[in-house]
Homo-oligomer: A and B are copies of this chain.
Amino acid sequence: MSVRDIENELNQLAMSEAAQPLLEKVKRHVLEHCEPAYIEYERLGEGRPERFQYAPGQLEIIEDLKAKAKAEGLWNFFLPDAETGEGLSNLDYAYIAFELGKNPLASQSLNCAAPDTGNMEVLERVGTPAQKERWLKPLLNGEIRSAFAMTEPDVASSDARNISTRAVLQNGEWVISGEKYFISGAGDPRCKVMIVMARTSPDAETFRQQSQILVPMDAPGVEIVGPMRVFGHDDAPRGHMQIRFHDVRVPEENILWGEGRGFEISQLRLGPGRIHHCMRSIGAAEKALDLMIHRGLTREAFGKKIIDLGKNMETISRARIEIDAMRLMVLKAARAMDVLGNKEARIWVSKIKAMVPERCAKIIDDAMQVHGATGLSHWSPLSEMYIMQRLLRFADGPDEVHHFVVARAERQAFEASADRMQAARAETRGGMLFGGP
């Protein structure tokens, strides 16, 4: 395709006719089922003695939501071009994921929650039949959950080449040793397996040293040290866990796609994972905007509704504009993944990954400011929403790395375009000409 044709393809951002009824169903599901369920779920979880167990009744709430969603055909939307035929295009899914971002239980209730989505995608794309049977099937059915173990505490995680967890092949088994942290969901009792990124081939060229290996959570030697508390928040019972691997042994066939293909698999999963996060982030920002307006309309100070004080109306406008702009950008990135494939779309993914969490965090922060101290507290969902967005500025690469990717691509595109270079030179030369003697 020519550049022009690509641009035209990428700007076709409407939802497909086929998917539109699904969107309506999802909206009703979130509003009518997830909203009240979440309040009850949180109430039950208060003060449970074991932080990393579900309180009685909590899992029932989740299972009930899942059953309702499944019955409506709202299930496994995240996986485009799946053999099973269940998934939507990235573009269609984006519309739905926005809605899921408005409620903390919504994604899970449709079996569309991270990091299962990425794990399922990887298994579907590169898993062996046996791996699919053992892990993909129960994941697709929502019977188990999973984790993805990449980030490490002792190295700068922004540079994936630094990963130092070792896996050595001994007698038909991978022996894994090392430490990971911020392993989201690994505290969930339902989490049965994780995909572990480990250095298997230290002598290979840089990007062929890492592999990804399936490790059951109950494998001997897996020590879950405890949760990383983000702003003091343990995110129990799922958690962002610190995990140590003490000579953990798994069968040789637990490797995914073959030795040294860890980076390749990462490329596969990170695009969709990042884009899903951004979709949901915008839903969260939209929710924050509603909470901000609601608070502004229902409180008074100095004889006026708070919404009418100072800069608050402008804050609302700026949030609205920012959300609309981010939404279009994410739709376009999703469309790029559909049209160009995950690899070619990676610059679009970096654009939204660098843009969305930072700005959503800002919108949520503004909403907190309108709420007063209550907005920071557990009486409001805003602070948890903020924490999530703040954390996303690091998850799957810090903002800075994505900005670098975008800038490098832009620079290369400039250097590759005779037209752009000529026009830039012309202006400068022109200036020199008429500014000079």
Contacts and interface: CB of A to CB of B under 8 A. Distances in A.
B231 A376 contact: yes
Contact of A372 (B287, B318, B394): B394
Interface in A1-18: 4, 7-9, 11-15
B36 A381 contact: no
B228 A407 contact: no
Contacts of A393: 369
A170 interface: no
A249 interface: no
Contacts of A156: 299-301, 306, 372
A421 interface: yes
Contacts of A35: 422-423, 426-427, 430
A162 interface: yes
Nearest to A157: B372
A302 B158 CA distance: 9
Contact of A158 (B354, B372, B379, B398): B372
B293 A42 contact: no
A427 B324 contact: no
Contact of A294 (B314, B414, B435): B414
A302 B157 CA distance: 11
A355 B372 CA distance: 17
Interface stretch (A58-66, A250-258, A270-278, A326-334): A326-334
Interface stretch (A111-119, A188-196, A382-390): A382-390
A126 B299 CA distance: 34
Contacts of A408: 313
A420 B290 contact: yes
Contact of A39 (B328, B398, B430): B430
Count identical subunits in the complex.
4
Contact of A310 (B12, B313, B354, B423): B313
Contacts of A42: 430, 434
A406 B369 contact: no
Contact of A434 (B43, B230, B354): B43
Contacts of A376: 230-231, 387, 390-391, 394
A428 to B, nearest CB: 7
Contacts of A419: 27, 31
A46 interface: yes
B369 A403 contact: no
A380 interface: yes
A190 to B, nearest CB: 22
A102 to B, nearest CB: 7
Given A378-B228, A406-B320, A424-B294, A314 B310 contact: yes
Interface in A193-209: none
Contact of A233 (B23, B233, B406): B233
A395 interface: yes
A153 interface: yes
Contacts of A129: none
Interface in A347-400: 351, 354-355, 368-369, 372-374, 376-381, 383-384, 386-387, 390-391, 393-395, 398-400
A384 to B, nearest CB: 7
A434 to B, nearest CB: 4
A314 B400 contact: yes
Contacts of A20: 4, 8
Q: Which 5 A-B pairs have the closest CB atoms?
A: A39-B430, A232-B233, A311-B311, A156-B301, A294-B424
A329 B324 contact: yes
B351 A159 contact: no
Contacts of A434: 39, 42-43, 46, 378
A230 to B, nearest CB: 5
Contact of A380 (B233, B294, B427): B427
A435 B373 contact: no
A75 to B, nearest CB: 21
A182 interface: yes
